[in-house]
Amino acid sequence: MRIHFIQTVLLAAILATTAAHGAADAAPDKLGKSTADHSKFKELNRTFDSGPEVTKACLSCHTEAAKQIHQTQHWKWEFINPDTKQVLGKKHIVNNFCTSVKTNEAACNSCHIGYGWKDDKFDFNSEENVDCLVCHDATGKYRKPSGFAGLPVTKDTEFPAGSGKIVRGINLTEIAQKVGPTKRTTCGACHFNGGGGDGVKHGDLDSSLEAPNKDLDVHMDVDGNNFSCATCHKTDVHQVPGSRYAPTAKDKNPAHLRGKDNKYNPATCQSCHGQAPHQQAKLNDHTNKLACQTCHIPAYARGGQPTKMWWDWSTAGKLDKDGKPYTEKDDDGYDSYMSIKGNFVWKENVQPEYVWFNGTVHYTLVGDKIEKTDKPTQINRFEGSATDGKSMIWPIKMFRGKQIYDPINKSLVITHLAGNDDTAFWKNLDWEKAVTMGMAKANTNFSGKFDFIETESAWPITHMVAPKEKAVACVECHTSNGRLEKIDGIYMPGRGSDHARWLEIIGWLAAALTLLGVAGHGLIRVIASQRNR
Amino acid sequence: MTRVYLFKPFERFWHWSQAVLIISMLVTGFEVHGSYTLLGFAQAVSYHTIAAWSLVGLWIFAIFWHLTTGEWRHYIPTTQNIVAIARYYSSGIFRDEPHPFRPSLNNKHNPLQRLTYLAVLTLLSPLLWVTGGLYLFYGNWTALGLGGLSLQWVATGHTLGAFLMLAFLISHLYLATTGHKLTSQLMAMVTGWEDLGHASK
């Protein structure tokens, strides 16, 4: 009886403890972190036939949201560099991936945070065309398929018309009722797929960052810090800091509290870690010349997803024996040739190249004179030097390739690639028509002649920060022919090219002569002592 | 056999610990310089730094000892008999002539030694200390008002010092064999007593 009683008490105690634990853990899950449950809002308890309808509902409470968005680079796709005055942004630049947005809006602008930007008549003052869901979707079900100018598809639709391929419609009500803060997957839906596919463009941004482990990204580690993009890219009035059009190359400010100080870029390493983050003083000595990324990102494309390193448009247009466009794959199953795009080289675990960088980037825009020489044309040029006092040594991905240009006007060109029309290159593989159309739409002179020119574009490497144990080891730079062999203007212990040659010769010669001298002296002593005996 | 007591316990301790530290700094220093790979760059830097600070500590004791005991007088330079000493090393030594200099507790070093050690202590060591110290405190140059310094020159000066120290070490090791017997001077630095052989005073 007594034993039974003790057992009962014990059991009750265990149950009570478990229940208490359960309750403590379960409470936030059940309540959620937000103070608003959007599924309870009557504005959202309805059917939505289009994106703009959802936005109107959002704006009925979040009255100022669209006005904030209208001020952002995410919306305008335009950035005027305050130093160089160059008019940049996706809307204007030509890169060496899919080259340009202009005349390809319906395809490219599935990554615009708006609805319906299909040509140059898009209304940038429209509030209802702001796409709230693409950033705030919490279900992972939201899609903006390529070809629909950024609009989601709500009913099953055949696309392209007559192709027999069906784009499935999505349920906007469910998505609208579950909106939340941005996540790695929402930002990643576009930023992981820059250049037209997973990992293509940046090298340090790809789908492996949706749920990275510690080795891949010490901050985003799902079992550790579990940062979202916005933890560093701390957003204020919908302005996301950290654009690479005018990056902070050298942050000499102390660490500052998130949200407390709006003066400085919160996306830099220093904004949290300060200027002397290492316990070892010698390591802190490096922070005056090296971007943190240089040591702490030993390689990019480390998550299993390769990135494109080379894209040769000049080979595009070949047909198979049946006269049809075709695709070839490399050993890992990635496209190495596509009739519509040319040849690619993909790479994983790529060691960055290193440059002096002061934060100013110069772009080669349509109309800027370019010359075909042995040196590739620079799509963008990172300005910097050892002596300007503003530069740090930065890791970059240098993306190289060949692309079409106008050899008479000596200019990059706008190419009409995507579209279901006769002039689109991806439809008819006719360069002349595609460029003529692109240049006409851009209101720019085209000589009618085209050729291919080798180009390169630089991309700062700043994501995929490894844990400190995996940082670049000292000797990888402090050696001859190391990672920083090409960096000029500094003295690096261990790098042979920095040695004063006269001192090396005289020094070793002096040591050798001393050795020879004492050896000779000793030898004479030995011989003399035997003779004296 | 004449034996003479020359080196007191602290002096011997100073000599040998300094020897170990300087040799390890040469070995690690030239690795940091990039001349070869032995311990690995990071390890070499770390040992080099530890040895440097140890040597600083040792020198504080050594300077105090030299000043308080008056032992610094052994490094006062003199040219007396210097020609005779030089002649001994260039010819007399081969003819088994007796060393013209007889060390004693009051006069431990011959004139050539005095000059060499004085140069090592007052010219070579300061060159290495100053450039090495600047190397160690590279991160504080601006704060110390030394922002205009060039690491290239500091490093070149430090390397020059290292080569000179290497040349000194080679000749020092050899000259240590030129006592009465090959090991006489070595034993003097181990036991304090040097065997000067049978030669008369």
Q: What is the mean pLDDT of residues A308-328?
A: 97
Alpha carbons within 13 A on the beta-carbon side of A59: 19
Tens digit of each residue's pLDDT (9 = 90 or more) over A191-200: 999 999 999 9
Q: What is the mean pLDDT of residues A290-316?
A: 98
| Residue A261 predicted with pLDDT over 70 | no
| Residue A315 predicted with pLDDT over 50 | yes
Q: What is the mean pLDDT of residues A257-272?
A: 84
Q: Is B33 on the interface with A (CB under 8 A)?
A: yes
Give residue A18's pLDDT band: very low, low, confident or very high (50, 70, 90). very low
Residue A10 sits at φ, ψ, to 5 deg, of -60, -50
Q: What pLDDT does residue A155 have?
A: 95
| Residue A408 predicted with pLDDT over 90 | yes
What Cα–Cα distance (Å) separates residue A128 from each residue in A116, A124, A237?
11, 10, 18
Selected residue with higher pLDDT from A514 and A1: A514
Q: Is A493–B34 a contact, with Cβ atoms under 8 angstroms apart? A: yes
Residue B107 sits at φ, ψ, to 5 deg, of -150, 80
Q: Which of A310, A312, A343 is nearest to A326 (CA)?
A: A343
Q: Which residue has the tokens 């017997």?
A: B181
Tens digit of each residue's pLDDT (9 = 90 or more) over B168-189: 999 999 999 998 889 999 999 9
Give residue A532's pLDDT band: very low, low, confident or very high (50, 70, 90). confident
Selected residue with higher pLDDT from A363 and B201: A363
Give residue A14's pLDDT band: very low, low, confident or very high (50, 70, 90). low
Q: What pLDDT does residue A260 have?
A: 72
Q: Which residues does A416 contact at the CB level (< 8 Å), separation at least 6? A: A103, A104, A423, A424, A425, A433, A434, A435, A437, A438, A441
> B25, B27, B33: best mutation site toward chain A, by most A Cβ within 10 Å?
B33
Q: Is A495–B34 a contact, with Cβ atoms under 8 angstroms apart? A: yes
Both tokens assigned to A405:
């240009």
Q: State the Cα–Cα distance between residues A519 and B174, nearest whole angstrom.
A: 8
Q: What is the mean pLDDT of residues A117-126?
A: 95
Among the partner residues A491, A507, A517, nearest to B152 by beta-carbon distance? A491
Secondary structure in 3-state letters for A137-167: CCCCCCCCCCCCCCCCCCCCEECCCCCCCEE
B 148-177 → A contacts, CB under 8 A: 150-152, 155-156, 159-160, 162-164, 166-167, 170-171, 173-175, 177
Single pTM value for the model: 0.90
The answer to whether the beta carbons of residues A421 and A427 sit under 8 Å apart is: yes
Q: Is A500–B156 a contact, with Cβ atoms under 8 angstroms apart? A: yes
Measured between beta carbons, the chain A residues lying within 8 angstroms of B138 are 285
Q: Is B171–A495 a contact, with Cβ atoms under 8 angstroms apart? A: no
Alpha carbons within 13 A on the beta-carbon side of A293: 29
Q: What is the mean pLDDT of residues A31-53?
A: 92
* Pairs of CB atoms within 8 A across A/B: 86
Q: What pLDDT does residue A29 have?
A: 57
Q: What pLDDT does residue A531 have?
A: 83
Q: What pLDDT does residue B147 have?
A: 87
Q: What pLDDT does residue B80 have?
A: 86
Q: Is B32–A500 a contact, with Cβ atoms under 8 angstroms apart? A: no
Question: Which run of H or E residues covers position A72?
Answer: none
Instruction: Say what the ipTM of the complex is.
Output: 0.92
If 0-12 CB within 10 Å is exposed, 13-18 middle and 19+ buried, where does residue B36 land?
exposed
Average pLDDT value over all residues in chain A: 93
Q: Is B95–A532 a contact, with Cβ atoms under 8 angstroms apart? A: yes
Give residue A77's pLDDT band: very low, low, confident or very high (50, 70, 90). very high
Among the partner residues B45, B155, B163, nearest to A507 by beta-carbon distance? B163
- Which contacts qualify for A236-240: CB closer than 8 Å, 24 or more apart? A236/A262, A237/A68, A237/A71, A238/A65, A238/A68, A238/A69, A238/A71, A238/A72, A238/A74, A239/A68, A239/A71, A239/A72, A240/A72, A240/A73, A240/A74
Q: State the Cα–Cα distance between residues A483 and A501, nearest whole angstrom.
A: 22
Give the range among A8-12, A290-294, B76-80, B125-129 with minimum mean pLDDT: A8-12
Question: Which run of H or E residues covers position A509?
Answer: helix A501-532
Q: What is the mean pLDDT of residues B106-113?
A: 91
- Looking at chain A, the number of H-run helices and the number of E-run strands are 15, 15
Q: Which of B43, B193, B51 is nearest to B136 (CA)?
A: B51
Q: What is the distance in angstroms between the Cα of B68 and the nearest Cα belonging to chain A? A: 35
| Residue A22 predicted with pLDDT over 80 | no
Alpha carbons within 13 A on the beta-carbon side of B116: 15
Both tokens assigned to A219:
């901050």
Q: What is the mean pLDDT of residues A105-134?
A: 96
Q: State the Cα–Cα distance between residues A461 and A167, nearest whole angstrom.
A: 35
Selected residue with higher pLDDT from B130 and A15: B130
Among the partner residues A500, A511, A528, nearest to B167 by beta-carbon distance? A511
What Cα–Cα distance (Å) separates residue B16 from each residue in A97, B188, B189?
66, 12, 8
Q: What pLDDT does residue B201 have?
A: 39
Q: Which residues pair with A166 in a beta bridge?
A: A158
Q: What pLDDT does residue A161 have?
A: 86
